[in-house]
Amino acid sequence: MESKPTTPADAAQIQAALTDPRRLAAVRDTGLLDTPPEEVFDRLTRLAAKLTGAPVTFVSLLDADRDFYKSAYGLGTTRQLSGRTFCHYPLVSGQALILEDVTQLPVFRDVPTVKSLGIRAYAGIPLRTESGEVLGSFCAVDFKPKQWTEQDVEIISELAHSAMREIRLRMALKDASALNQQLQAQIQKVDALNRALSEMATTDALTGVANRRAFDHSLQLELAIVERRGTPLSLLMLDVDHFKRINDTYGHEAGDKVLVAIAQLLGGCARVIDVVARVGGEEFAVILPNTDAGGAHEVAERMRSAVARSNWLGQPTTVSIGAATLHDKEDAASLYARADAALYAAKTAGRDRVAMA
Ligand SMILES: Nc1nc2c(ncn2[C@@H]2O[C@H](COP(=O)(O)OP(=O)(O)OP(=O)(O)O)[C@@H](O)[C@H]2O)c(=O)[nH]1
């Protein structure tokens, strides 16, 4: 059988189709241009040759200025051709092109591969995407005239269909992996946002230590541990002395810097399991798990003297500290109130000192 296009495409039509940006994008999207031969395509061209008796069969992808052969059976090492080829005609018509003897047809006898490769018979089925773009064709050629049977054409069409299904599968996998990457990136962003949010919810923005909310939560947690294990627990309340004066003399910003420095100092004096929190404007609290009154006094004294030795403003800053150790069956509010009362006592006793509840 033979299909002779009544008016085969001219050079301008072919050039326009070859360089059509949507089509070219689809060809490049396959990810197959310039990739090495693969068995899955080679099996199809081998089968086409075997079943039709054609000595050469290939899967061509039409780039703007060359035909790239993803698979070529019987063509030696040729992987691409430039210049006019038979595959350009089904590209424009979108139809199968079946030629029994190209030398008998005026338009086709001038195609360069007639001379360069000696092609006499050609059967090409366009490889078309679902959206209608022709990527190339599945072809069989012979070096002598050949009467393609209906079955030959059916076989080539079926194999073209299989090649196209493989190409579609590749594109879907590529899309899926791109989507997956996007999804992973989004998940990472959401995770980072969540981490930032949870940090914001529990951290004091100025000093970076725990905020009031995190302090309350930690204190409840420590009380639950005490109840189970019977370990001691102490709490320090700490207030910067004459902080209003610091603000008034050096400015609010300098006051802020002092708060940050004190928070750092307290952190340096505490163990990893201790919780340093800013619970008010210039008020800090420190939860001391597994610490009795003696230990609490020792830590409080260490913190007090560390601050007193500081010289952030060209003069020492001091803090007053109240310490309370948990009584049997005592709740968080009571412990807090006793530590706060001790702090008040330290203030009234002259500041820069530790008072025990
Ligand atoms: N710079 C700064 N100042 C704050 C902040 N929060 C509260 N303050 C100030 O801290 C001061 C606390 O003053 P007071 O409660 O009168 O106590 P004080 O001056 O520290 O005196 P004593 O506690 O009695 O030693 C006020 O002037 C508040 O404006 C803050 O985040 N940054």
Percent of the chain with pLDDT over 70: 99
Site of tokens 């309340």 = 237
Rounded average pLDDT over 204-215? 95
Do 235 and 295 contact (CB within 8 A), yes or no? Answer: no
Rounded average pLDDT over 300-314? 92
Alpha carbon of 285 to ligand 1 centroid (Å): 15
Site of tokens 């590209």 = 91
Ligand 1: atom nearest CA of 252 is 1
pLDDT tens digits along 45-79: 999 999 999 999 999 999 999 999 999 999 988 89
Alpha carbon of 287 to ligand 1 centroid (Å): 22
| Alpha carbon nearest to ligand 1 atom 16, residue | 244
Q: Which residues line ligand 1 (CB under 6 A)?
A: 206, 239-245, 247, 252, 255-256, 259, 281-282, 347, 351
Strands annotated E in 64-187? 67-73, 80-81, 97-99, 121-128, 134-142
For residue 192, pLDDT over 70 is answered with yes
Q: Please name the residues in contact with 318: beta carbons below 8 A apart, sequence gap of 6 or more.
A: 240, 241, 304, 307, 308, 351, 352
Q: Which of 100, 166, 222, 282 is catalytic?
A: 282
Do 32 and 61 contact (CB within 8 A), yes or no? Answer: yes
Average pLDDT, the chain: 94
For each of the domains in the chain, give its residue range(s) and CATH number, in order of start: 11-177 (3.30.450.40), 212-356 (3.30.70.270)
Strands annotated E in 143-196? none
Rounded average pLDDT over 324-345? 97
Task: Tell me the best of 243, 256, 344 to mutate to test the pocket of ligand 1, counting ligand atoms within 8 Å of each CB and taking the most.
Answer: 243
The CA distance from 282 to 258, in Å, is 10
Sheet with 319-325: list strands edge to edge: 275-280, 283-289, 233-240, 319-325, 354-356
Alpha carbon of 258 to ligand 1 centroid (Å): 11
pLDDT tens digits along 96-149: 999 999 999 888 999 999 999 999 999 999 999 999 999 999 999 999 999 999
Cα end-to-end distance, the chain, whole Å? 107
Ligand 1: atom nearest CA of 247 is 1
Rounded average pLDDT over 31-56? 96
Do 202 and 211 contact (CB within 8 A), yes or no? Answer: yes
The CA distance from 64 to 275, in Å, is 68
For residue 5, pLDDT over 70 is answered with no
For residue 88, pLDDT over 70 is answered with yes
For residue 8, pLDDT over 80 is answered with yes
Alpha carbon of 283 to ligand 1 centroid (Å): 8
Catalytic residue list contains 133: no
pLDDT tens digits along 262-289: 999 999 999 999 999 999 999 999 999 9
Alpha carbon of 354 to ligand 1 centroid (Å): 19
Ligand 1: atom nearest CA of 254 is 1
For residue 16, pLDDT over 80 is answered with yes
For residue 316, pLDDT over 90 is answered with no
Q: What is the ipTM of this complex?
A: 0.91
